C-alpha cells in the first residue's frame, strides 16, 4: 500500500520570491497587508519567510491579492521551483531539529530526576547500598561524558534559533554538570569500601 505524501505548502517560499521580484521591502508588504485589515509585524513576516511561522488563511488571502496571484496557486505552486525545494528542505530540517531539541530536554529532565532520587544526602545508609541506588549512581557516572555533549548540542541549536524551553531545567543540571557525577561517584566508592570493610 502506497503512502500519500503530505501536500507541500509553498506560501512561505512564494512570499519571499514574489516580494523580491516586486522589489518590495518587508515593511512595504506589512503596510499593504494593513490595507486588508491583516496586522502583521515585520519580524513575523521574516519568520514566515524563513519557515518559522505558519501563514494564516487570512494572511494567505491578503498575500495572494497583493501579488495578484490565485490563492490556490500561491499555496500549492512554487513561483521558483528550485528555490522552493531549498526552502522546503530548510523547513523540514528545522522541524527535525526542533523535535531533537525537545527530546534532549526530556532526556536531561529524566537524568535530573534520577540524580534527585539517588541523592545520597537524603538516603539512609541501607538505601545507599541498595542495588537500585548503586545502579543509578553507576549510570550517572557513566553518563559523565554524555551530558556536556547534550548541553553543547543544545547551545548549537540555540544559535540556530531552535528554542525548547531549557530554562525549565533545574539548576543542578544546567549549572554544574560535572558536580553531581563527581560527588556521587566518590561517595559511592567510599560507601562501597566501608561496606566491604564491615563485612
The 8-class DSSP code of residue 177 comes to S
Alpha-carbon distance of 122 to 128, in angstroms, equals: 9
Task: Report the predicted TM-score, pTM, of the whole model to 2 decimal places.
Answer: 0.56
Check pLDDT > 60 for residue 183.
no
Alpha-carbon distance of 21 to 144, in angstroms, equals: 53
Compute the radius of gyration of the chain from its Cα atoms: 26
Q: What are 97-111's pLDDT values in tens digits?
A: 888 888 888 888 888
| Residues 6+ away with beta carbon under 8 Å from 98 | 162, 164
pLDDT confidence of residue 155: 79
Q: What are 117-170's pLDDT values in tens digits?
A: 877 777 787 887 788 888 887 887 777 778 778 878 877 888 777 876 665 454
Q: pLDDT grade, residue 6 (50/70/90)?
A: low
Amino acid at each position: 500500500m502506497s503512502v500519500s505524501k503530505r501536500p507541500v505548502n509553498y506560501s512561505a517560499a512564494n512570499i519571499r520570491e514574489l516580494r523580491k521580484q516586486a522589489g518590495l521591502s518587508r515593511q512595504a508588504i506589512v503596510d499593504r497587508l494593513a490595507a486588508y485589515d491583516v496586522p502583521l509585524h515585520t519580524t513575523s513576516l521574516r519568520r514566515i519567510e524563513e519557515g518559522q511561522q505558519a501563514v494564516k488563511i487570512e494572511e494567505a488571502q491578503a498575500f495572494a491579492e497583493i501579488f495578484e496571484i490565485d490563492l490556490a496557486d500561491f499555496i500549492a505552486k512554487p513561483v521558483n521551483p528550485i528555490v522552493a525545494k531549498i526552502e522546503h528542505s530548510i523547513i523540514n530540517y528545522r522541524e527535525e531539529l526542533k523535535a531533537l531539541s525537545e527530546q534532549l530536554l526530556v532526556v536531561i529532565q529524566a537524568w535530573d530526576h534520577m540524580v534527585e532520587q539517588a541523592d545520597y544526602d537524603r538516603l539512609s545508609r541501607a538505601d545507599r547500598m541498595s542495588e537500585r541506588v548503586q545502579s543509578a549512581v553507576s549510570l550517572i557516572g557513566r553518563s559523565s561524558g554524555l551530558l556536556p555533549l547534550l548541553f553543547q548540542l543544545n547551545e548549537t541549536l540555540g544559535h540556530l534559533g531552535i528554542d525548547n524551553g531549557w530554562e525549565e531545567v533545574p539548576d543542578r543540571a544546567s549549572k554544574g554538570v560535572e558536580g553531581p557525577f563527581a560527588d556521587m561517584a566518590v561517595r559511592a566508592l567510599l560507601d562501597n569500601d566501608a561496606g566491604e570493610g564491615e563485612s
